[in-house]
Amino acid sequence: MPRSLFEAYGIELEYMLVDPTTLAVRSVADCFLSQLSANVGAPPSDVTCRDLTWSNELARHVIELKVSEPTADLVGLAERFQNAIVDAQASLQSCGAALLPTAMHPTMKPQDEVQLWPHEGVDVYQQFDAVFDCRSHGWGNVQSVHLNLPFQGDREFAALHAAIRLLLPVLPGLAASSPVADGTESRSASTRLVYYVTHCDVVPCLIGDVIPDPMTTQEEYNHRVFEPIARESQRRNWRDWMKPEFLNARGAIARFDRGSIEIRLMDVQEHPRADVAICAAVIAVLRRLVDQRWRSVSEQNSLDTRALRLLLDQSILDGEDAIIRWPEYLACFGIEDSAVTMSEFWNRLLADAKSEDHALERLYDPLDVILREGTLSKRIRRSLHASQVDSVSLANRLDWVYRRLAHCLQSGHSFLVP
């Protein structure tokens, strides 16, 4: 059923399946889904438990938890996500697995360890692997949150697309959670996004500049995004089911068949309440942009795509410590300073939004931790250098920190630096 702006939301969370003892990746998503469904035949791709659905992903060590249908009840959804994770423990244990949060496994070697999903839809995954080599971090070691927001018609699409386009560059300043890869600390706050922004480099038209260009109608989107992808698909003799809507890999993608735009630039957090709280924060700010509280849609669309991409790159690198030195951008959010950190940017916006948004106010505790203690990425980094573990090898420190993160996922508590 078509929905208008902000009527309901679809949220998808991705987690790693790991060995409970060693935390090494366990490619047992098919076992987990079979156990969850009590299926004795071929492993299902989806298992619905009440109003939530568990699904497979490209790699067999990744599992997705999502709403079966969009919902307006974000507060209730946060609790339902947490309960689903607790309820899944018996099925996980039967497969010798546990769930691990954050946007990247800290030590896996994807070239050696990634196994593609071998069941329903295997042709799609094999085609992607043939083109992109999915045994790499950008394909096989990425766990994100996808937020789907509805629209009806070109007018609502134009307003929502303009607002999302403007907000994408600062999302890592709130949601970065991947400071480690290949068993070592990364320079970046969101290492997942370091790999994400280049994972389609062999076919650049699929991802563009990650930040989408301004577009105001479905016809314009078809012409500027889908038609170039279709031509490239035809040139490469890809299968008919490799549709442009499916191949589009920008940081936000329009799904006109669903009447929604999907945001893809948020790292998954340490527990679902934090993910839903971040989604509520994003929704609250987008509402104000769509309402043109500070600037009109045309003024929002006047900001240069390449400049927005450079701001995203800063955010990926430095997270909440990145400095926004762009008065025209800040003015679009009602901030009249010439420069602010991303931490200050989010503090100001959310303090204002919380006073007007009841759901955001009720979900605010995890955001308070992020705004006070730093993104999960910064808290992980600080924990790796905490005084009580500083003399221990990095491998042992990583094991200690990520076991604590796994416990946060089970308990529903935010990760704090000791």
In this predicted structure, the answer to whether residue 95 has a pLDDT above a threshold of 80 is yes
Encode pLDDT of 183-233 as tens digits: 999 999 999 999 999 999 999 999 999 999 999 999 999 999 999 999 999
Rounded (5°) CA angle 72-270-87: 70
For residue 156, with 0-12 CB atoms within 10 Å meaning exposed, 13-18 middle and 19 or more buried, which class applies?
middle
Other CB atoms within 10 Å distance of the CB of residue 42: 10
In this predicted structure, the answer to whether residue 91 has a pLDDT above a threshold of 80 is yes
Average pLDDT over residues 23-49: 92
Encode pLDDT of 323-349 as tens digits: 999 999 999 999 999 999 999 999 999
- Give dist(CA 291, CA 284) in Å, integer: 11
Q: Is residue 255, in this structure, part of any structural domain at all?
A: yes
pLDDT of residue 13: 98
Average pLDDT over residues 354-373: 96
Q: Is residue 161, in this structure, part of any structural domain at all?
A: yes
Q: Is residue 417, in this structure, part of any structural domain at all?
A: no
Q: Is residue 85, in this structure, part of any structural domain at all?
A: yes
Higher pLDDT, 213 or 38: 213
Encode pLDDT of 272-313 as tens digits: 999 999 999 999 999 999 999 999 999 999 999 999 999 999
**Continuous segment of H or E residues that includes residue 384:** helix 376-384
Q: Is residue 349, in this structure, part of any structural domain at all?
A: yes
In this predicted structure, the answer to whether residue 237 has a pLDDT above a threshold of 70 is yes
pLDDT of residue 392: 82
Q: Is residue 32, in this structure, part of any structural domain at all?
A: yes
Q: Which domain does 354 fall in, by range? A: 10-411
Question: Phi and psi at residue 280, in whole multiples of 5°?
Answer: -65, -40
In this predicted structure, the answer to whether residue 76 has a pLDDT above a threshold of 80 is yes
Looking at every residue in the chain, the average pLDDT score rounds to 96
pLDDT of residue 242: 80
Q: Is residue 416, in this structure, part of any structural domain at all?
A: no
Average pLDDT over residues 17-30: 98
Q: Is residue 414 very low, low, confident or very high in pLDDT (cuts 50, 70, 90)?
A: very high
In this predicted structure, the answer to whether residue 352 has a pLDDT above a threshold of 80 is yes
Do the strands 62-67 and 52-56 form a parallel or antiparallel pair, or are they unpaired?
antiparallel
pLDDT of residue 389: 67
pLDDT of residue 387: 64
Q: Is residue 284, in this structure, part of any structural domain at all?
A: yes
CATH number of residue 61's parent domain: 3.30.590.20
Look at the chain and report how many structural domains it folds into: 1
**Percentage with pLDDT > 70 across the chain:** 99
- Give dist(CA 217, CA 417) in Å, integer: 46
pLDDT of residue 267: 98
**Continuous segment of H or E residues that includes residue 10:** strand 10-18
- Give dist(CA 216, CA 232) in Å, integer: 24
pLDDT of residue 194: 98
Question: Phi and psi at residue 350, in whole multiples of 5°?
Answer: -80, -30
